[in-house]
Amino acid sequence: MDLHALTIHEAGEWLARGRTTSVALTEAVLARISAVDGRVHAYLRTEPEAALAQAAEADRRRAAGEAHPLLGVPLAIKDVLCTAGVETTCGSRILKGFVPPYSATAVDRLRAVGAVLLGKTNTDEFAMGSSTENSAYGPTRNPWNLDRVPGGSSGGSAAAVAADECLGALGSDTGGSVRQPAAFCGVVGLKPTYGRVSRYGLVAFASSLDQIGPLTKDVTDCALLLEAMAGHDPLDATSSIRPVPAYHLALQGEVRGLRIGVPREYLVEGTQPEVTAAVEVALDVWRGLGADVIEVSLPHTEYALPTFYLLAPAEASSNLARYDGVRYGYSHPEAQEMWDTFYRTRGAGFGAEVKRRIMLGTYALSAGYYDAYYLKAQQVRTLIKQDFDRALERCDVVVAPTTPTTAFRLGEKTADPLEMYLSDVFTLSLNLAGLPGVSIPCGAADGLPIGLQVIGGAFAEETVLRAAYAYEQAAGVRLGTPAL
């Protein structure tokens, strides 16, 4: 078996038994990147020398008796997470050349257990997009079909995992940006409960919605990555003080008596027939394992999309005000004075989608419109959360498609922002409600992966992962490696 094709837990076993070394494993993955990333463009930058130095240190730590499932395992980091000494651009011209002096807490925690960090993956600019076409540095392509998008905004991380250009990766999820690309690329992607993983060092898009999540080749790897980076962080006032469970111990494959809710509002007209059929087959798998499948209702689902696209841009307009060309990042070279610097820098530094969302958000927050738009959206957000609370009183998890379709063609939706936004119609409700959800592969249509979403109550990641793992093991849906 090629080393780059290993899962995280397989690689951990090989390393523990002395079948390979971290240096050899890292060299194999770097070689894979060199071989295929010219076509996929999953990475914005790699750090091969630093990665090999980390791998050598991991081998020394293991030889000294240290053990951890991630020790010596090569991972990738979405380029919205700060990495000390490594350029962090958020896929934007306005941060080109920015090298942060500190790392995100999630990154530091991976480094602490000895993970090897390969480099930074491509992203829609400031994580604003559903296709990774909004990156200032060019789009990422779906490894299963290079004419298709990998999803977004964590498309670079999802594509890197699918193409075996890393063994796992970190992404961020504000409205589906881990789960939607996971579905499009045929990998596993988890959005944790809001507050489960520290947001310190994650460059903010919408602070009340953002969460860091893992993208992996299977559910076991997902549990291992989450376990390593979750937990309270005094540097993030929104991080939870709840203890972190041993998530991997919840993966027993036993779901007899588990109550699975299927929301009638998610099985809607316009969903690709193959997606609907794959979800129905998956529900039959759970029934065969002894789970109870019931219908539930989330009646305010139809308002989730407009609610999200009022609240997220409002927060973005505030968060992105800091990019003024004065303190760090890009500054327009021909600007004459402060206000001219501000206008020119933001005009040239931000892309069209980011500008669109800043304008939407500023309008929603402006005098005379705040009550009509922003305040009303916050009230509807509460109703959406209450829908989930009521549904999860009747069931343990909610199951639905991750996306209404398989991956669409590059350029197919760039001229119609609303059509692009609809790609996240099944995912963004979870961010509004702050709940955890995982996307897992459940089949394919015309060679393109289909994703299935398992949703749980707040801090119920153990239940979500247990249900996902049981399906994964029973259905045997492992799509393998694209023929690149």
Q: Which residues are the active-site residues?
A: 78, 153, 177
Q: Are 405 and 276 in contact (CB under 8 A)?
A: no
Distances (CA, A) of 123 to 36, 138, 172, 219, 288: 18, 9, 10, 23, 39
For strands 448-456 and 437-445, give the pairing.
antiparallel
Q: Are 209 and 427 in contact (CB under 8 A)?
A: no
3-state class of 413 per DSSP?
A: coil
Q: How far apart are CA 182 and CA 217, in angstroms?
A: 10
Reading the block at residue 52, the tokens are 């090999």
For strands 397-401 and 259-263, give the pairing.
parallel
For strands 116-121 and 168-173, give the pairing.
unpaired
Torsion sign across C-alpha atoms 230, 235, 239, 243: positive
Q: How far apart are CA 162 and CA 479, in angstroms?
A: 9
Reading the block at residue 264, the tokens are 């009638």
